[in-house]
Structure 1
């Protein structure tokens, strides 16, 4: 900030040395900061209010200039949040409203169609090692792509991701731009779950020697746990935890049970929520509640219920095109406790599912009047629900109830 010296100082010919000039400059800058902060706050858009089943919904725009954001991860100690943009940029948003330039050290990504920079999560012991995990689409030498996961160390100033290390690659790579998944979740024991898409190659979800359409379970450094269900099976990949999934774009740890929940896109209908268990088959494409995009049956389908496959705990006959998922267990809004929030791309809504144990007992659609595709949903440390919209320019929204 450059401030001119006043004309009165010049007229009185005070002998002002360099040290005094620096002190005066610092004082004037410090005095100006509260005014600048107030002006920035005054220029921020006013929150909007909407009716909802649990009270008046309050929605605040925090960012409006993101480029197809995909995921958000909150940093500890109110330090803001990391946001991925599909084209391959990782940004740092701070509570004062600032958005960083792209963070250096992010790997090159395959940014085509549904591919790009995808999920971001912090290591469970981030405060000690500052590890940030990313999932992204990566292209192979033959031009086809798959989902890759790795981690880097976030520098103290938040400007760089250092020593990025790949710990997982979806093999073989089969995607030409579709169905990468993917979401990353650490459980309470520190295992890393990776929810993957089937690269739009339906039969591969049933092939245990391939990593398409699977939930994978790893140690934080990428090693395979000894108790994974297919360890020692010569015909299966040891990383596999569960199989028979389609395109998983939501995953979260249930705070009341500690179990992993995932959700996946159907084709035309058949979006579903599962609780993946070790070694179990979740059906795709043999068992599905959806049909193909053209209106015919899925070629491999044998119906909605097939022996040897698990039923989803919830499904939609008409597909909302679900993405992002977060359980609500915060104290801030008691009316939302025992809820599961899910984004909808097709319906342009935030879906709130009311839960009774594993059962969905009620559905509510929120934010429909905003007419925005919802890509990610997370609950912030302040108890508000944070939403990313899938657009360019895309938004970061803070959602709560009137208190």
Structure 2
């Protein structure tokens, strides 16, 4: 069913605004920007992806809905064939990514939370063939599920990107384990919890993964992560960039290297919740840990980060090469200038609207920025020059 029909009858002021067309959302600040609600009524949307060679947007919602959004008129159509997900706590349907040769290779990849018969849960990766005309995901299959399943509803990760090498990279959270110290899941290279995974498009393990042949998980690409909920490829260097949640502050932006340890929880810049007690050493103090390129130390107020992208569109030439990262608890869209690995935060966007920013994406045809707001009745928003 076309969800615009539902929205038009919902009685929401924002829904009424967007039922027929995009609505401009006037607020103070954001000089030079036009902010439009493209569509509303999404249930905790988690990711936005632009359909290659098509221009429409694919939106995942945490409770398990996958839909196609027409950015011109706000029409929303749900997609059938989505796997059952464990929609509890932070779990549910999470990220989506298209095969690099889509639509010739019609695979759509999804990450999602799944549970076993004991009610324990984990992060999984799967794929199906997306038929846009039929509005269905055909033959969906689970490619990989992280072991072990654990009794937690938090910190699933999880972002997917394809690298320039054609491999699939997936972030996995630490599942909120409080067993701080060297025995923590994230420091255990025999598990994918608290890691970045690297897989072939069919879910098999690349022969050149950094731990193949070692006493470690073959799928592992990097470890020592707490909960990376943003990941993107630098458009010029091909580097893998991630945004990661700290504990009490300690949030990070990392450039991810093969085989590297990113410290959690033996090193970082955050503190235990409700205290000023450091979790471990500071990352720069250890030779076995990679220091983040940008971080928020304990007491700074932090930056709980979500989806991220580099700006490479044509609508905002002054933003070319800048990094955009969604801020959840801080309720704004962060903009960062990037020179190599020198990163500086500048000019926050969308402040004062009460929006938890879950994801951000650049439309390759128009250069507009599309933003997913994390809420129970949430809009997808478009940013264009005023």
TM-score (norm 2): 0.89
Partner of 2:74: 97
Query: Hey, which of these two has a bigger chunk of helix by percent?
Result: 1
Q: Note the residue ranges of structure 2 that are not aligned, 5 or more in a row.
A: 1-16
Matches of 1:292 and 1:158, distance apart in 2:
50
Q: CA deviation at 1:42?
A: 6.6
Equivalent position of 2:223 in the other structure: 243
Q: How far 1:369 sits from its partner (Å)? A: 2.1
Q: Which residue of 2 aligns with 1:74?
A: 50
Deviations along 1:79-131, whole A, 9 cap, x unmatched? Answer: 4111111111101111331111x321111111001000000111101111211
2: CA distance, partners of 1:264 / 1:399: 25
SS of the aligned residue for 1:335 comes to: helix
CA RMSD of aligned residues (A): 1.8
- Per the alignment, residue 161 of structure 2 pairs with 185
Contact 2:326–2:334, Cα closer than 8 Å, also in 1: yes
1:209 to 190, 196, 200: 190
Q: Structure 1's 61 and 283: CA in aligned 2 closer, same or farther, altered over 3 A? A: same
Aligned-partner SS, 1:133:
strand
* Equivalent residue in structure 1 for 2:210, among 215, 221, 229: 229
Decide which of 336, 352, 372 is 1:388's aligned counterpart: 372
Matches within 5 A, 1:163-312: 163-201=139-177, 203-233=184-214, 235-295=215-275, 297=277, 301-304=280-283, 305-312=285-292
| Aligned 8 A contact 1:92 1:158 in 2 | no
- Please give the secondary structure, in 2, of the residue aligned with 1:153: strand
Aligned residues: 359
Which consecutive segments of 4 or more residues in structure 1 shift more than 6 A?
A: 39-42
For residues 21 and 213 of structure 2, the distance between their equivalents in structure 1, rounded to whole angstroms, comes to: 61
Partner residue, 1:122: 98
Distance, in Å, in 2 between the alignment partners of 1:175 and 1:210 is 16
Does the CA-based 8 Å contact 2:189-2:223 persist in structure 1? yes
Q: Distance in 1 between matches of 2:42 and 2:255?
A: 32
- Aligned 1:98-113 pairs, distance under 5 A: 98-100=75-77, 102-113=78-89
Per the alignment, residue 133 of structure 1 pairs with 109
State the Cα distance separating 1:354 from its structure 2 match: 1.0
Distance, in Å, in 1 between the alignment partners of 2:194 and 2:281 is 18
Cα displacement (A) at 1:298: 5.3
Instruction: Report the alpha carbon displacement of residue 78 of structure 1 after superposing the two structures with TM.
Output: 3.5
2:340 to 336, 350, 357: 357
Structure whose CA Rg is larger: 1
Q: Would the aligned equivalents of 2:269 and 2:278 in 1 still touch at CA under 8 Å?
A: no
Per-residue deviation, residues 202-239 of structure 1 (Å, max 9, x unmatched)? 51000000111111111100111111010011x21000
Cα distance in 2 for partners of 1:374, 1:322 equals 9
The 1:357–1:49 alpha-carbon spacing in structure 2 relative to 1, beyond 3 Å, is farther
Q: Secondary structure at the match of 2:235?
A: coil
Distance of aligned partners of 1:198 and 1:40 in 2 relative to their CA distance in 1, 3 Å threshold: closer
* Contact 2:226 2:245 (C-alpha < 8 Å) held by counterparts: yes
Distance in 2 separating the partners of 1:171 and 1:273: 26
SS of 2:352 mapped into structure 1: helix
Cα distance change on mapping 1:362 and 1:322 into 2, 3 Å: closer
How far apart, in 2, do the equivalents of 1:40 and 1:85 lie? 19
Q: Which residue, 298, 316, 325 being the options, matches 1:342?
A: 325
Task: Give 1:307-322 correspondences, 5 Å limit.
Answer: 307-317=287-297, 318-322=301-305
Aligned positions of 1:52-67 closer than 5 A: 52=30, 56-67=32-43
Aligned equivalents of 2:305, 2:131: Cα separation in 1: 34
